[in-house]
Amino acid sequence: MVATGILAGLFVVFMVGVYAVASVFGAMDDTQHDPQSYDTEFDVSIRNWAQMQDRWSE
């Protein structure tokens, strides 16, 4: 039970870090993209992964 909580916490921290890096790169690639343009596959995959994690933890 505790291990699951720790793993979930680490997972969240990891994902936030990944998202922050992606946001920085997205901001640097500031040619003519609107903010939603790189918000496609990467964010969808994170959402799907988070939903899978929720199902596993039940």
pLDDT band at 55 (very low <50, low <70, confident <90, very high): confident
Within 8 A by CB and 6+ apart from 22, the residues are 38, 42
Instruction: Give the per-residue pLDDT at 29.
Output: 58
**Domain extent listing, the chain:** 2-57
Instruction: Give the per-residue pLDDT at 9.
Output: 85
Instruction: Give the per-residue pLDDT at 35.
Output: 54
pTM: 0.38
The predicted-structure confidence for 1-46, as pLDDT tens digits, reads as follows 788 888 888 888 888 777 877 776 666 655 555 555 555 667 777 7
CB atoms within 10 A of CB 25: 10
